Structure 1
Amino acid sequence: MTGIGIPIVRCKNTRNYGYLVVLGVMSLANAEVHLRHFGFTVTDADFGTTMMLNLIILMIVLMGGRVIPFFTQSALSEAATQIRKPIEFGAVGLSIALIFGEVLNLPPELLVILAGLVMIFHALRLIGWHDSRIWETPLLWVLHLGYDLLVVGYGLTAQAKFGGILPFLATHVFTTGGIGMVTLGMMARVSLGHSGRPLQPPLLTILAFVLLNVSSLLRVAAPVFFPSAYGTLILLSGSVWILAFAFFLWNYFPILAAPRIDGRPG
């Protein structure tokens, strides 16, 4: 955090101060896990890990609002991308409110409403960013789909608070799907752009994007539709997820280990 924070503060990049706050709270969540392990705290067993998951999702919410519409506009001429401030403030503000609501252990009825509102605002956010041509560009649709899965995750969270489904279904949509897709998509795009290469991922990386979607579907569908094959499908989901990132490593290690092809520093 210090390595990131000092340059941001020195150059007075106030736009990124919010990320430092999130990283600081992440450090506290990480510390809580270790303190609880040694018996120094009396929080719920999964308090720190749940908080960390929520903060990672929040980081994607903050980052996604800046890069996904920007990447869409950059890649598609005359893209009909809309950034509506009320929707942006609502999506971010309600996401933060939901985190506080869970920390304060608000009544389930309030959390259902809050999670439902978060889902709606993020869905509206995505609608504003959408352009039908994203499906022609893998480096765009992987990010949009990843954010789509966050919307699904918030919807499942609302259902879980209502008692309609098991909470871990939302967790798996957030992790295997949303976080996995956005992370892989960002790494794939940034690695090409910052190495001076065209923004055209290798075919094996596009396959990795597809595999992550398959992994997420298997992970969520297994306990709901195929409980008798739960163990097998979970193993298959994990294997497919690992394979997707192995494909990324195979394609991108030579890129990341070599100098920029345009001769510029970096």
Structure 2
Amino acid sequence: MSMMTHPLWLVGFRPFFALACLAGMILPFSWALIFSGSLPAPTTSFSAIQWHAHEMFFGFGWAVLGGFLLTSTKNWVNIRGYHGAALIWLTAAWLIERLGMSFGGQWPAPLFALSNNLFLGSIIGMLLWTLLRHRNRDNYRDNAFFIVMLPAFLVAKYLILHGDHFAAGYNMAIGLFRMAFLVMLERTLTQFMKAAFQAQILRQPKLDMAIKLLGLLMVIEFALPRPLTAAIALLLAALLAVRFIFWKPQLAFKRIDIGIMYVGYLAIVAQLIIEALGQLFNQVWIGSLSVHIFTFGAMGTVIPAMLIRISKGHTGRKVVFDGLDRIALYITLLGLFVRVIAPQWFPERYPMWIHLAASCWLLTFGILGWRYIPILLQPRIDGKEH
């Protein structure tokens, strides 16, 4: 078996879900150690908090989103998809970016800029090529949202690393990931609820489109007047909450593998409400609540469940969440509690909550990495090539 034909390089989710497990273990825990002074901050030209935000969105977040989109886009337009050398290139570019983000402070500016944009520029170009070239074969008309959103990630990335625009950058990153989640949850939960409970959930095209259009507007919230941002956030939260009621949560919460995705949905609603209150009343919460209710509440809950589901289903295995899978999901819910809720009650113990929350991610993604990286390195068990 040559390197090019190794199972790891057959489909996009394989290398990038492996990297996501490693990043989910290492990056939050490294930040906890940097925050407490136990580990020196990376030698960079930007602050440690900028490093942390960038690495969670563009290191961890894009390992997941990249793996998901490389896999799903090929299915949406019915093509073979990127494999072999293309995936090796993207993986190397992702690793080079991590190197530059941690040790590139003394690098010449052009070299750092290259290291910092090689991965995202390459993968966005490749995804756009797939979506645009095969547009007439696309099963989903609303993939037009991805064509708009994907280049915007490059703007958010730039803003995060430039101190004067840091807040605009992370708000834009949240807005873009929120959009990806809104599109993905709409599609996947319809399928999951039907498969698990033979239940149809409300799909009203006008409501779904209104939600996505408002979500797209929230991507540029930093450029809008504060009262308008608050109004859009509250309207989007209200529409999502109404739809949630018709998505049969009483059934979903009977199973942790689906219920946890509903928790992620509710976290998006909560984040929008908190964002609106901040815009209207300058309400301040402990520990960047608006950011972390999204990162721990939406990303931290939905991503492990999807990682398990895709890793099993796309390697020919039956999609059943066993005991250890469910334990990993409960640990990530504990991480959400200790990072978002506990600090509001006991703010004086804030450093402890950060360490506990990071430890929850270390455990969750440690379990997932231990279980699924070996699977990602093996051929499918059903005899299919990819």
For residues 239-258 of structure 1, the aligned pairs below 5 Å read 239-258=359-378
Match of 1:52 in 2: 173
Aligned: 1:157 with 2:275 = yes
Q: Is the 8 A contact 1:177 1:212 kept in 2?
A: no
Task: Give the alignment's Cα RMSD to 1 decimal.
Answer: 2.0
Note if contact 1:57-1:179 (Cα within 8 Å) is conserved in structure 2: no
Q: 1:129 aligns with which of 247, 255, 263?
A: 247
Equivalent in the alignment of 2:222: 103
Please show how residues 179-258 of structure 1 align to structure 2 within 5 Å.
Answer: 179-258=299-378
Q: CA offsets, 1:78-98, max 9 Å, x none?
A: x03111223212221222223
Q: Distance in 1 between matches of 2:224 and 2:213?
A: 18
Matched, 1:8 2:131: yes
Q: Deviations over 1:132-175 (max 9, x none)?
A: 33234333112122112111111211222232333821211000
Aligned CA distance change for structure 1 residues 131 and 222 (closer, same or farther; 3 Å): closer
Contact 2:171-2:222 within 8 A present in 1 as well: no
What is the distance in 1 between the residues matched to 2:332 and 2:255? 17
Higher relative contact order (CA 8 A, sep 6+): 2
Aligned counterparts of 1:8 and 1:114: Cα–Cα separation in 2: 29
- TM-score, length basis structure 1: 0.88
Do 1:33 and 1:49's aligned partners in 2 also have CA atoms closer than 8 Å? yes
Q: Which residue of 1 aligns with 2:260?
A: 142
CA displacement 1:184-240 (0-9 Å, x = unmatched): 111111111111111112322211111111111111123310012111122111111
Pick aligned residue for 1:24 from 151, 161, 174: 151
Alpha carbons 2:175, 2:216 under 8 Å: kept:
no
Identity %: 26
Q: For the Cα contact (< 8 Å) 1:91–1:125, is it kept in 2? A: no
Inter-CA distance 89–17: structure 2 relative to 1 (3 Å threshold): closer
2: distance between equivalents of 1:64 and 1:258? 28
* TM-score, normalising length: structure 2: 0.62
Match for residue 175 of structure 1? 295
Structure 1 stretches of 4+ with a deviation exceeding 4 A read none
CA contact (8 A) 1:169 1:220 kept: yes
Alignment of 1:264 onto 2:384 = yes
Q: State the alpha-carbon separation in 2 of the partners of residues 45 and 10 from structure 1.
A: 34
Secondary structure at the counterpart of residue 260 of structure 1: coil
User: Conserved in 1, the CA contact under 8 Å of 2:335 and 2:360?
Assistant: yes
Q: Does 2:199 match 1:72? A: no
Q: Which residue of 1 aligns with 2:230?
A: 112
Q: Give, as a single letter, the amino acid of the residue that structure 2 aligns with 1:218.
A: V
Give the alignment partner of residue 89 of structure 1, picking from 184, 187, 209: 209
CA 1:96/1:5 → structure 2, altered by over 3 Å: closer, same or farther?
closer
Name the aligned partner's letter for residue 56 of structure 1: F
Could you tell me which amino acid in structure 2 is paired with residue 53 of structure 1? Answer: I
Shift of 1:131: 4.9
Aligned to 1:198, the other structure's residue is in SS state coil
Deviation digits for residues 7-29 of structure 1 (CA, Å, limit 9, x no counterpart): 22222226323213211110222
**Which deviates more, 218-227 or 124-133?**
124-133
- Residue 381 of structure 2 aligns to a residue whose secondary structure is coil
Q: Distance in 2 between matches of 1:136 and 1:223?
A: 29
